[in-house]
A and B are shown apart, each in its own frame.
Chain A
Amino acid sequence: MKILDYCPVFLRWLIIATMLLSPGLSSAATRAEVLRDCIQDFEGIVWKLPYQPRLNIRSCSTPSFNYDSGKSVDGRRSLELIGELSLGPDLSLPPDEANAAIDTAIYTHFDALFLRQGYRRADVEYGNARTDFYLSYYLARNIPHEAPLPIVNLARYKRSVSGRVITLTYKKALANTWSIFMEVHPVTQDTTTGASK
Chain B
Amino acid sequence: MSWRNVDIMLLIVAAVISVLLPFVFSGHGYAPSGIIDPAIEFYTKSHSDGYGGLDRWAYHGMKQQTLVESLQKDGYVCVLPQDSDAGVGMRELVCAKTLDGMLERTLSIKAKIGYDIGGRLVTAHASSNLTGDYLNIRTHIADVLRKFDWIEPEELQIKGFEIDSIDLLTRLAVDALSARGWHNTCEDKRNQSGCLRRAIERRESGFQQVGGGAVAVGNVTAVHSAMESIHLVALQPREYPKSDETLFVRVVGESMWIDFAGNDLTGRELMVSIEIDSEGGAPVKLIAKVGSDSRETVLAGTRRVTNNGTIRYFVPLAGSENPKLAVWRDLPNKFSPDSYKSIGVELSNIDPAFSSRTVKVILAGVSTVTFPEEEIGLYPALRSIEYQAEILRSAHAEKWLPKEHSPQVLVRQMYPDDWMSRASWAFAMCETATKPPAIDANCWGGFIKGDPEVAALLSKEVADLQGMYVSLELTHPLWLRLNRLGAALQEVKQESSDIVSIPPTQSSGVLHVEDPENKEDDD
Binding site for B on A (CB under 8 A): 30-32, 34-36, 39, 46-52, 54, 56-57, 87-93, 101, 104-105, 108-109, 111-113, 115-120, 159-163, 187, 197
List, in ascending order, chain B residues with CB within 8 A of A117's CB.
513-514, 516
Binding site for A on B (CB under 8 A): 371-373, 375-376, 378-380, 382-383, 386-387, 433-437, 465, 467-472, 476-478, 480-482, 511-516, 519, 521-523
Contact present for A48 and B521 (CB under 8 Å): no
Take A48-B511, A118-B521 as given contacts and tell me if A93 and B477 are in contact as well, using a CB distance cutoff of 8 Å: yes
Contact present for B513 and A46 (CB under 8 Å): yes
Contact present for A54 and B387 (CB under 8 Å): yes
- Cβ contact of B371, chosen from A52, A56, A113, cutoff 8 A: A56
Contact present for B472 and A87 (CB under 8 Å): no
List, in ascending order, chain B residues with CB within 8 A of A159's CB.
521
List, in ascending order, chain B residues with CB within 8 A of A115's CB.
516
18 contacts across the A-B interface (CB closer than 8 A): A36-B376, A48-B378, A49-B380, A50-B380, A51-B482, A52-B478, A54-B383, A54-B387, A57-B373, A57-B378, A89-B437, A90-B437, A90-B480, A101-B476, A112-B469, A116-B513, A120-B516, A160-B523
Q: Give A83 Cβ to nearest chain B Cβ, in Å.
A: 11
CA distance A69 to B471 in the complex (A): 34
List, in ascending order, chain B residues with CB within 8 A of A36's CB.
376
List, in ascending order, chain A residues with CB within 8 A of B387's CB.
54
Take A46-B511, A57-B373 as given contacts and tell me if A51 and B472 are in contact as well, using a CB distance cutoff of 8 Å: no
Contact present for B521 and A56 (CB under 8 Å): no
List, in ascending order, chain A residues with CB within 8 A of B380's CB.
48-51
Take A87-B478, A111-B471, A112-B468 as given contacts and tell me if A49 and B371 are in contact as well, using a CB distance cutoff of 8 Å: no
Contact present for A160 and B511 (CB under 8 Å): no
CA distance A47 to B373 in the complex (A): 10
CA distance A92 to B436 in the complex (A): 8
Smallest CB-CB separation from B461: which chain A residue?
Answer: A51
Contact present for B373 and A91 (CB under 8 Å): no
List, in ascending order, chain B residues with CB within 8 A of A57's CB.
372-373, 378
Give 16 new A-B contacts, CB below 8 A, not counting A48-B378, A104-B476, A161-B522: A32-B372, A46-B511, A47-B378, A48-B380, A48-B511, A51-B380, A54-B383, A88-B477, A90-B436, A90-B478, A92-B435, A92-B477, A113-B468, A119-B516, A159-B521, A162-B523
| Interchain Cβ contacts within 8 Å, total number | 119
**How would you classify the secondary structure of chain B's contact residues: helix, strand, loop or mixed?**
loop
List, in ascending order, chain A residues with CB within 8 A of B375's CB.
30, 32
Contact present for A51 and B523 (CB under 8 Å): no
List, in ascending order, chain A residues with CB within 8 A of B516's CB.
115-120
Closest 8 A-B residue pairs measured CB to CB? A116-B513, A32-B375, A32-B372, A160-B523, A90-B477, A48-B511, A90-B481, A31-B372
Contact present for A88 and B515 (CB under 8 Å): no
List, in ascending order, chain B residues with CB within 8 A of A163's CB.
523
List, in ascending order, chain A residues with CB within 8 A of B376's CB.
32, 35-36, 39
Smallest CB-CB separation from B515: which chain A residue?
Answer: A116
Contact present for B477 and A87 (CB under 8 Å): yes
List, in ascending order, chain B residues with CB within 8 A of A111's CB.
471
Contact present for B382 and A89 (CB under 8 Å): no
CA distance A176 to B476 in the complex (A): 19
Q: Give B128 Cβ to nearest chain A Cβ, in Å.
A: 69
CA distance A51 to B379 in the complex (A): 7
Q: Give B67 Cβ to nearest chain A Cβ, in Å.
A: 55
Q: Give A114 Cβ to nearest chain B Cβ, in Å.
A: 9
Smallest CB-CB separation from B380: which chain A residue?
Answer: A51
Contact present for B477 and A91 (CB under 8 Å): yes
Q: Give A81 Cβ to nearest chain B Cβ, in Å.
A: 10
Smallest CB-CB separation from B510: which chain A residue?
Answer: A48
Smallest CB-CB separation from A114: which chain B residue?
Answer: B516
Smallest CB-CB separation from B431: which chain A residue?
Answer: A89
Q: Give A70 Cβ to nearest chain B Cβ, in Å.
A: 18
List, in ascending order, chain B residues with CB within 8 A of A104's CB.
472, 476
Smallest CB-CB separation from B464: which chain A residue?
Answer: A51
Q: Give B496 Cβ to nearest chain A Cβ, in Å.
A: 26
CA distance A88 to B519 in the complex (A): 35
CA distance A167 to B360 in the complex (A): 49
CA distance A186 to B514 in the complex (A): 24
Q: Give B484 Cβ to nearest chain A Cβ, in Å.
A: 8
List, in ascending order, chain A residues with CB within 8 A of B521's CB.
118, 159-161
CA distance A90 to B478 in the complex (A): 7
CA distance A32 to B514 in the complex (A): 25
- Cβ contact of B514, chosen from A34, A48, A118, cutoff 8 A: A118
Smallest CB-CB separation from A37: which chain B residue?
Answer: B376
List, in ascending order, chain B residues with CB within 8 A of A56's CB.
371, 373
CA distance A48 to B470 in the complex (A): 17
- Cβ contact of B469, chosen from A89, A91, A105, cutoff 8 A: A105
- Cβ contact of B481, chosen from A88, A116, A119, cutoff 8 A: A88
CA distance A93 to B436 in the complex (A): 11
List, in ascending order, chain B residues with CB within 8 A of A92's CB.
435-436, 477
CA distance A89 to B432 in the complex (A): 10
List, in ascending order, chain A residues with CB within 8 A of B478's CB.
51-52, 87, 90, 101, 105
Take A87-B478, A90-B477, A108-B472 as given contacts and tell me if A116 and B435 are in contact as well, using a CB distance cutoff of 8 Å: no
CA distance A34 to B387 in the complex (A): 24
Most chain A CB inside 10 Å of its own CB: which residue of B372, B382, B471: B372
Q: Give A102 Cβ to nearest chain B Cβ, in Å.
A: 9
Q: Give B284 Cβ to nearest chain A Cβ, in Å.
A: 29
Q: Give A135 Cβ to nearest chain B Cβ, in Å.
A: 23
Most chain A CB inside 10 Å of its own CB: which residue of B373, B472, B512: B373
CA distance A48 to B467 in the complex (A): 14
List, in ascending order, chain B residues with CB within 8 A of A88's CB.
386, 477, 481
List, in ascending order, chain B residues with CB within 8 A of A118's CB.
514, 516, 519, 521
Contact present for A35 and B469 (CB under 8 Å): no
CA distance A93 to B475 in the complex (A): 11
List, in ascending order, chain B residues with CB within 8 A of A48's CB.
378-380, 511
Contact present for B472 and A35 (CB under 8 Å): no
List, in ascending order, chain B residues with CB within 8 A of A47's CB.
378
CA distance A178 to B480 in the complex (A): 24
Q: Give B508 Cβ to nearest chain A Cβ, in Å.
A: 12
